[in-house]
Protein backbone atom coordinates (compact mmCIF):
# COMPACT_ATOMS: atom_id res chain seq x y z
CA UNK A 1 0.00 0.00 0.00
CA UNK A 2 2.96 2.32 0.67
CA UNK A 3 0.92 3.97 3.43
CA UNK A 4 2.47 4.60 6.86
CA UNK A 5 -0.34 4.22 9.43
CA UNK A 6 1.58 6.25 12.00
CA UNK A 7 1.32 9.26 9.71
CA UNK A 8 -2.47 9.20 10.01
CA UNK A 9 -3.26 7.40 13.27
CA UNK A 10 -2.36 7.63 16.94
CA UNK A 11 -2.28 4.17 18.51
CA UNK A 12 -1.93 2.92 22.06
CA UNK A 13 -2.11 -0.40 23.89
CA UNK A 14 -4.84 0.25 26.46
CA UNK A 15 -4.18 -2.97 28.37
CA UNK A 16 -6.48 -5.83 29.27
CA UNK A 17 -10.07 -6.04 30.44
CA UNK A 18 -10.30 -7.71 33.84
CA UNK A 19 -11.20 -11.38 33.76
CA UNK A 20 -13.03 -12.74 36.81
CA UNK A 21 -12.14 -16.46 36.97
CA UNK A 22 -15.24 -18.61 37.11
CA UNK A 23 -17.65 -15.73 36.51
CA UNK A 24 -18.38 -15.13 32.84
CA UNK A 25 -21.14 -12.58 33.45
CA UNK A 26 -18.89 -10.33 35.55
CA UNK A 27 -16.08 -10.75 33.04
CA UNK A 28 -18.35 -9.75 30.16
CA UNK A 29 -19.59 -6.71 32.08
CA UNK A 30 -15.96 -5.71 32.70
CA UNK A 31 -15.25 -6.11 28.98
CA UNK A 32 -18.30 -4.03 28.02
CA UNK A 33 -17.27 -1.19 30.35
CA UNK A 34 -13.64 -1.43 29.23
CA UNK A 35 -14.57 -1.06 25.56
CA UNK A 36 -16.98 1.73 26.50
CA UNK A 37 -14.09 3.68 28.05
CA UNK A 38 -12.15 3.47 24.80
CA UNK A 39 -15.15 4.67 22.78
CA UNK A 40 -15.90 7.48 25.22
CA UNK A 41 -12.35 8.74 24.73
CA UNK A 42 -13.02 9.09 21.01
CA UNK A 43 -10.83 6.13 20.07
CA UNK A 44 -11.55 3.06 17.95
CA UNK A 45 -11.22 -0.23 19.85
CA UNK A 46 -9.40 -3.19 18.32
CA UNK A 47 -9.65 -6.18 20.63
CA UNK A 48 -7.82 -9.50 20.73
CA UNK A 49 -10.03 -12.30 22.02
CA UNK A 50 -10.51 -15.16 23.78
CA UNK A 51 -13.13 -17.25 22.14
CA UNK A 52 -15.81 -15.66 19.99
CA UNK A 53 -18.21 -15.24 22.91
CA UNK A 54 -16.27 -12.08 23.84
CA UNK A 55 -17.68 -10.38 20.74
CA UNK A 56 -20.97 -10.16 22.65
CA UNK A 57 -19.71 -7.52 25.12
CA UNK A 58 -17.41 -6.00 22.48
CA UNK A 59 -20.20 -5.30 20.01
CA UNK A 60 -22.73 -4.53 22.76
CA UNK A 61 -20.44 -1.73 23.96
CA UNK A 62 -20.16 -0.33 20.44
CA UNK A 63 -23.96 -0.47 20.07
CA UNK A 64 -24.36 1.22 23.45
CA UNK A 65 -22.14 4.04 22.19
CA UNK A 66 -23.56 4.55 18.70
CA UNK A 67 -27.12 3.36 19.26
CA UNK A 68 -28.86 0.01 19.01
CA UNK A 69 -29.64 -0.85 15.42
CA UNK A 70 -27.11 1.62 13.99
CA UNK A 71 -24.18 -0.82 14.06
CA UNK A 72 -23.70 -3.53 11.46
CA UNK A 73 -21.25 -6.41 11.65
CA UNK A 74 -19.02 -8.05 9.06
CA UNK A 75 -18.14 -11.51 10.37
CA UNK A 76 -15.38 -13.66 8.89
CA UNK A 77 -15.98 -17.11 10.31
CA UNK A 78 -16.39 -20.80 9.51
CA UNK A 79 -19.50 -20.89 11.72
CA UNK A 80 -22.51 -18.59 11.93
CA UNK A 81 -22.59 -18.48 15.77
CA UNK A 82 -26.37 -18.11 15.68
CA UNK A 83 -27.43 -21.05 17.87
CA UNK A 84 -30.17 -20.36 20.42
CA UNK A 85 -29.01 -20.05 24.01
CA UNK A 86 -29.76 -23.35 25.79
CA UNK A 87 -32.24 -23.11 28.68
CA UNK A 88 -30.49 -22.15 31.89
CA UNK A 89 -27.32 -21.05 30.10
CA UNK A 90 -25.80 -17.63 29.41
CA UNK A 91 -24.54 -18.42 25.91
CA UNK A 92 -21.21 -19.36 24.42
CA UNK A 93 -19.02 -18.85 21.37
CA UNK A 94 -21.72 -20.32 19.14
CA UNK A 95 -24.59 -18.09 20.27
CA UNK A 96 -23.27 -14.54 20.46
CA UNK A 97 -24.37 -13.30 17.04
CA UNK A 98 -27.92 -14.49 17.65
CA UNK A 99 -27.89 -12.84 21.08
CA UNK A 100 -26.87 -9.52 19.52
CA UNK A 101 -29.69 -9.78 16.98
CA UNK A 102 -32.29 -10.81 19.53
CA UNK A 103 -31.40 -7.97 21.92
CA UNK A 104 -31.65 -5.47 19.05
CA UNK A 105 -28.04 -4.34 19.19
CA UNK A 106 -27.53 -5.48 15.57
CA UNK A 107 -30.31 -5.71 13.00
CA UNK A 108 -30.21 -9.06 11.23
CA UNK A 109 -29.95 -7.66 7.65
CA UNK A 110 -26.91 -5.67 8.82
CA UNK A 111 -25.05 -8.84 9.78
CA UNK A 112 -22.86 -9.93 6.85
CA UNK A 113 -21.18 -13.33 7.28
CA UNK A 114 -18.38 -14.65 5.07
CA UNK A 115 -16.74 -18.07 5.00
CA UNK A 116 -19.40 -20.36 6.52
CA UNK A 117 -18.94 -24.08 5.92
CA UNK A 118 -19.09 -27.52 7.49
CA UNK A 119 -21.91 -29.53 9.05
CA UNK A 120 -23.32 -26.81 11.31
CA UNK A 121 -25.67 -24.96 11.72
CA UNK A 122 -28.53 -27.43 11.69
CA UNK A 123 -31.67 -26.89 9.57
CA UNK A 124 -33.58 -25.09 12.33
CA UNK A 125 -30.84 -22.55 12.91
CA UNK A 126 -30.35 -22.04 9.17
CA UNK A 127 -34.08 -21.44 8.76
CA UNK A 128 -33.98 -18.83 11.54
CA UNK A 129 -31.06 -17.06 9.87
CA UNK A 130 -32.84 -16.93 6.52
CA UNK A 131 -36.13 -15.77 8.07
CA UNK A 132 -34.33 -12.96 9.92
CA UNK A 133 -32.56 -11.81 6.74
CA UNK A 134 -28.95 -12.36 7.81
CA UNK A 135 -26.63 -12.06 4.79
CA UNK A 136 -24.60 -15.27 4.80
CA UNK A 137 -21.94 -16.02 2.18
CA UNK A 138 -20.90 -19.66 2.38
CA UNK A 139 -17.59 -21.01 1.16
CA UNK A 140 -19.66 -22.93 -1.39
CA UNK A 141 -20.63 -19.57 -2.90
CA UNK A 142 -17.01 -18.44 -2.90
CA UNK A 143 -15.99 -21.61 -4.72
CA UNK A 144 -18.86 -21.28 -7.21
CA UNK A 145 -18.72 -17.54 -7.95
CA UNK A 146 -15.15 -16.67 -7.05
CA UNK A 147 -13.70 -14.89 -4.05
CA UNK A 148 -13.61 -11.46 -5.68
CA UNK A 149 -17.30 -11.51 -6.61
CA UNK A 150 -18.39 -12.49 -3.11
CA UNK A 151 -16.22 -9.88 -1.39
CA UNK A 152 -17.56 -7.20 -3.72
CA UNK A 153 -21.11 -8.18 -2.69
CA UNK A 154 -20.19 -8.22 1.01
CA UNK A 155 -18.62 -4.76 0.76
CA UNK A 156 -21.72 -3.44 -0.96
CA UNK A 157 -24.04 -5.00 1.61
CA UNK A 158 -22.03 -3.71 4.56
CA UNK A 159 -21.76 -0.23 3.07
CA UNK A 160 -25.46 -0.01 2.26
CA UNK A 161 -26.62 -1.28 5.65
CA UNK A 162 -25.96 0.21 9.05
CA UNK A 163 -24.48 3.63 9.71
CA UNK A 164 -21.50 2.07 11.51
CA UNK A 165 -19.71 -1.25 10.94
CA UNK A 166 -17.86 -3.54 13.34
CA UNK A 167 -15.45 -6.13 11.93
CA UNK A 168 -15.07 -9.46 13.71
CA UNK A 169 -12.54 -12.04 12.53
CA UNK A 170 -12.62 -15.62 13.78
CA UNK A 171 -9.34 -17.14 12.64
CA UNK A 172 -11.15 -20.36 11.71
CA UNK A 173 -12.44 -18.47 8.67
CA UNK A 174 -9.07 -19.42 7.24
CA UNK A 175 -8.44 -23.02 6.26
CA UNK A 176 -6.65 -25.03 8.99
CA UNK A 177 -3.67 -25.26 6.64
CA UNK A 178 -3.17 -21.56 7.39
CA UNK A 179 -4.67 -21.37 10.91
CA UNK A 180 -4.40 -24.67 12.79
CA UNK A 181 -4.25 -22.99 16.20
CA UNK A 182 -7.96 -22.69 16.85
CA UNK A 183 -10.55 -24.65 18.79
CA UNK A 184 -12.98 -25.44 15.96
CA UNK A 185 -10.99 -25.88 12.75
CA UNK A 186 -13.02 -26.51 9.61
CA UNK A 187 -11.42 -27.70 6.34
CA UNK A 188 -12.17 -25.92 3.09
CA UNK A 189 -11.70 -22.32 4.18
CA UNK A 190 -10.03 -19.19 2.85
CA UNK A 191 -6.35 -18.81 2.27
CA UNK A 192 -4.51 -16.41 4.53
CA UNK A 193 -3.93 -14.11 1.53
CA UNK A 194 -7.66 -13.98 0.78
CA UNK A 195 -8.58 -13.22 4.38
CA UNK A 196 -5.97 -10.48 4.77
CA UNK A 197 -6.96 -8.76 1.55
CA UNK A 198 -10.63 -8.91 2.49
CA UNK A 199 -9.99 -7.48 5.96
CA UNK A 200 -8.02 -4.58 4.51
CA UNK A 201 -10.74 -3.87 1.94
CA UNK A 202 -13.51 -3.83 4.54
CA UNK A 203 -11.55 -1.43 6.76
CA UNK A 204 -10.68 0.80 3.81
CA UNK A 205 -13.73 0.76 1.58
CA UNK A 206 -16.53 0.36 4.13
CA UNK A 207 -14.92 1.90 7.18
CA UNK A 208 -15.12 0.42 10.67
CA UNK A 209 -15.72 1.72 14.20
CA UNK A 210 -14.30 -1.33 15.96
CA UNK A 211 -12.75 -4.74 15.42
CA UNK A 212 -11.87 -7.93 17.17
CA UNK A 213 -9.82 -11.01 16.28
CA UNK A 214 -10.77 -14.14 18.19
CA UNK A 215 -10.36 -17.91 18.62
CA UNK A 216 -6.56 -18.07 18.51
CA UNK A 217 -5.49 -21.04 20.65
CA UNK A 218 -1.70 -21.05 21.17
CA UNK A 219 -1.55 -24.66 22.50
CA UNK A 220 -2.98 -25.85 19.18
CA UNK A 221 -0.73 -23.65 17.05
CA UNK A 222 2.08 -25.22 15.03
CA UNK A 223 4.74 -24.24 12.53
CA UNK A 224 6.30 -21.26 14.31
CA UNK A 225 2.96 -19.87 15.54
CA UNK A 226 1.44 -19.41 12.09
CA UNK A 227 -2.08 -18.83 13.47
CA UNK A 228 -0.90 -16.11 15.82
CA UNK A 229 0.98 -14.48 12.96
CA UNK A 230 -2.15 -14.53 10.82
CA UNK A 231 -4.21 -12.94 13.59
CA UNK A 232 -1.51 -10.31 14.07
CA UNK A 233 -1.48 -9.55 10.37
CA UNK A 234 -5.28 -9.24 10.29
CA UNK A 235 -4.99 -6.39 12.78
CA UNK A 236 -2.18 -4.74 10.83
CA UNK A 237 -4.09 -4.98 7.54
CA UNK A 238 -7.16 -3.43 9.17
CA UNK A 239 -5.06 -0.59 10.59
CA UNK A 240 -3.58 -0.06 7.13
CA UNK A 241 -7.08 0.07 5.64
CA UNK A 242 -8.15 2.65 8.24
CA UNK A 243 -5.07 4.74 7.42
CA UNK A 244 -5.79 4.49 3.69
CA UNK A 245 -9.27 5.83 4.37
CA UNK A 246 -7.82 8.71 6.40
CA UNK A 247 -5.34 9.39 3.60
CA UNK A 248 -8.21 9.94 1.16
CA UNK A 249 -7.53 6.92 -1.06
CA UNK A 250 -10.85 6.17 -2.75
CA UNK A 251 -9.97 3.50 -5.30
CA UNK A 252 -11.47 0.10 -4.58
CA UNK A 253 -9.08 -2.81 -4.10
CA UNK A 254 -6.20 -0.33 -4.19
CA UNK A 255 -2.58 -1.33 -4.70
CA UNK A 256 0.35 1.04 -4.89
CA UNK A 257 1.75 0.99 -8.42
CA UNK A 258 5.25 0.13 -7.24
CA UNK A 259 4.00 -2.91 -5.33
CA UNK A 260 1.74 -3.92 -8.21
CA UNK A 261 4.52 -4.14 -10.75
CA UNK A 262 6.71 -1.07 -10.81
CA UNK A 263 6.52 2.68 -11.46
CA UNK A 264 3.84 3.63 -13.94
CA UNK A 265 2.06 0.27 -13.65
CA UNK A 266 -1.59 0.55 -12.82
CA UNK A 267 -3.05 -1.44 -9.94
CA UNK A 268 -5.02 -4.62 -10.53
CA UNK A 269 -8.32 -2.73 -10.74
CA UNK A 270 -6.93 -0.42 -13.40
CA UNK A 271 -6.96 2.88 -11.51
CA UNK A 272 -4.24 5.50 -11.83
CA UNK A 273 -1.81 5.14 -8.92
CA UNK A 274 0.98 7.28 -10.28
CA UNK A 275 0.81 9.60 -7.25
CA UNK A 276 2.31 6.75 -5.17
CA UNK A 277 -0.20 6.97 -2.32
pLDDT in tens, 17-55: 999 999 999 999 999 999 999 999 999 999 998 999 999
How do the domains of the chain map onto residue ranges?
A: 5-246
Report the C-alpha gap between 240 and 219 in whole angstroms. Answer: 29
User: Given this model, what pLDDT does residue 273 score?
Assistant: 39
* Angle of helix 24-40 versus helix 55-66 axis, rounded to 10: 40
- Torsional class of 48: left (φ above 0), alpha (ψ -120 to 50), beta (otherwise): beta
Does the pLDDT value for residue 270 go beyond 70? no
Per-residue model confidence as pLDDT tens digits over 10-19:
999 999 999 9
**What does the angle CA 216 – CA 240 – CA 51 come to, to the nearest 5 degrees?**
15
Does the pLDDT value for residue 277 go beyond 50? no
Neighbours of 69 (CB within 10 A): 14
Per-residue model confidence as pLDDT tens digits over 130-182:
999 999 999 999 999 999 999 999 999 999 989 999 999 999 999 999 999 99
Judge contact between 24 and 56, C-beta under 8 A: no
Does the pLDDT value for residue 95 go beyond 90? yes
Per-residue model confidence as pLDDT tens digits over 234-256:
999 999 999 999 999 999 999 99
- 263 pLDDT band, cuts 50/70/90, is low
Classify 5-246 by CATH class. Answer: alpha beta
In a 13 Å sphere around the CA of 264, the CA atoms on its Cβ side amount to 0
Contacts of 125 (CB under 8 A, 6+ apart): 80, 82, 83, 84
User: Given this model, what pLDDT does residue 224 score?
Assistant: 85
Per-residue model confidence as pLDDT tens digits over 188-202:
999 999 999 999 999
Tell me the average pLDDT of the chain.
94
Contacts of 10 (CB under 8 A, 6+ apart): none
Amino acid sequence: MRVDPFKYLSMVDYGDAEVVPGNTLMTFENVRRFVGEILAAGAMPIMLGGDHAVSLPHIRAVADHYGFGSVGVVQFDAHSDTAPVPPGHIGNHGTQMRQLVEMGAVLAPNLVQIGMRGGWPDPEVTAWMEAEGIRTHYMAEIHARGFDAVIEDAIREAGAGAEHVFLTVDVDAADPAFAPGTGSPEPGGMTSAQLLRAVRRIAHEVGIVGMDVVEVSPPYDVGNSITAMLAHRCVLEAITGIAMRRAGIEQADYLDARAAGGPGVESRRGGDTSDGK
